[in-house]
Structure 1
Amino acid sequence: MSSSTRELFGGAITAVAPITLVDASDLRQIPDTQEVFLYPDSSVSIVVEVLQRVDRNDDDSAIRFHFDSLAHDNEAISSAVDAVGVIPNTRGDKTPKAITLTGVQSVAKFNKVDEDQVRVLMALFRVEDKRVDLVVTFNVPVQSQDQGAVDQEGWNTMQNHFDAFVRSLCIVDFGLFV
């Protein structure tokens, strides 16, 4: 799948993403603090969100806080963290390192009895001097009541897309965070 550099928040942030992604703001109202993209051939979504910095001193508890908040917002029946890691910024710009998390959430959608299994790929960029947490979340249904789930090959592809997105993410204009 072909990718290109995508401008987020009016060009204040850039990241490499598949060119086929659909900008959700073309379909529905999206808050100014979010960018949301949809894969046209599945129920996978990407959310980039500017949030107030959480009061956690270590990277692990900070990203777990955001994962737990997502589980709460999704009304997840259960959730589990598989791994937490760090991707350093080796480009030399001022974009902070990415704290990453892989996890899973069981979510009952649209009043259905059976829940969807959603794999979550999350990255946290802590912009300390602006008191901001920039959170990137790939929501990847691997078991779904609709036809939007991805198989193992699709999961591997999403992991590669997440890795490219996070490693390429560049904060071009820190004025976004005023």
Structure 2
Amino acid sequence: MSEQMLFGGAFSVVLPDNRNDLSAVRQIPDNQEVFAHPHTDQSIIIELMEAVDAQEPDQVAIKTHFDDLAAANGAASDARIIHMEPVAKENITLEEADSCWYIIGEQNIAKFNEAARNTVELHMGLFRVGKFSTDILVTFNDPINIDVASSSHHAVPTSVVRWNTDNLRQVLTSLKLLDPGIFGL
């Protein structure tokens, strides 16, 4: 695990060492930072999102983001939340966050619009930052069942160490805002 600067140095976070910054190989939206495991289809995405209505409870906000992602993945009818819990403020370093929530869910996703669908376990952390009208979403995509017809189906050497939920917890507990100017202040 090592520190990674995000969004031009506006944030820092601790990520697994074995990662590829996908912005080096493809266009990534300005509101996202995307890192992929070099040997698996696992990824970690950190997004600055427009806040879900502040009047909505945090549980509704994280479910809204999960449902939006399921719709974007073409998995709206085949997605489910398995577990949801708040993360205690004393366990996070993002001081500006009003709250942090964590969910585990599953979605059956087709990569590159293929017919084959892969079961992906999604670990999602949501930081509600009302001061900046922003939700910061951290998503860990962990394929748990790859269809043999999927372009993602390939043998992963047994020596490869996959990312795990401890890696995501490290991301959630280490995210720090360094420059609030990113919010246009």
In the aligned structure 1, how far is the partner of 2:154 from the partner of 2:181?
Answer: 37
TM-score by length of 1: 0.88
Among 160, 165, 172, the residue aligned to 1:159:
165
| Aligned-residue identity in percent | 35
**Distance verdict in 2 for CA 1:148–1:23, change over 3 Å:** farther
Which letter does structure 1 place at the counterpart of 2:153? Q
Q: Where in structure 1 are there 5+ consecutive unaligned residues?
A: none
Deviates more, 1:16-25 or 1:59-68: 16-25
1:21 to 12, 15, 19: 19
**What residue is the counterpart of 1:114 in the other structure?**
116
8 Å CA contact 2:93–2:173 kept in 1: the answer is no
Cα RMSD, aligned residues only: 2.3
Change (3 A) 1:14 1:42: same
1:118 & 1:92 partners in 2: Cα distance?
A: 28
2:36 matched residue in structure 1: 38
Which residue of 1 is the match for residue 59 of structure 2? 60
* Correspondent of 1:7 among 5, 8, 15: 5
Report the residue type matching 1:30 in the other structure: I
Residue number in structure 2 paired with 1:127: 129
Q: Which moved more, 1:87-96 or 1:73-82?
A: 87-96
Shift of 1:113: 3.3
CA distance in 2 between counterparts of 1:105 and 1:92 reads 29
How far apart, in 1, do the equivalents of 2:56 and 2:155 lie? 36
Counterpart position of 1:95:
96
Distance 1:93 1:118, change over 3 A: closer
Q: Does 1:138 align with 2:140?
A: yes
Number of aligned residues: 174
Query: Taking structure 1 as reference, are residues 25 and 60 closer, same or farther at Cα in structure 2, changes over 3 Å only?
Result: same
State the secondary structure of the residue aligned to 1:68. helix
Length-normalised TM-score, structure 2: 0.85
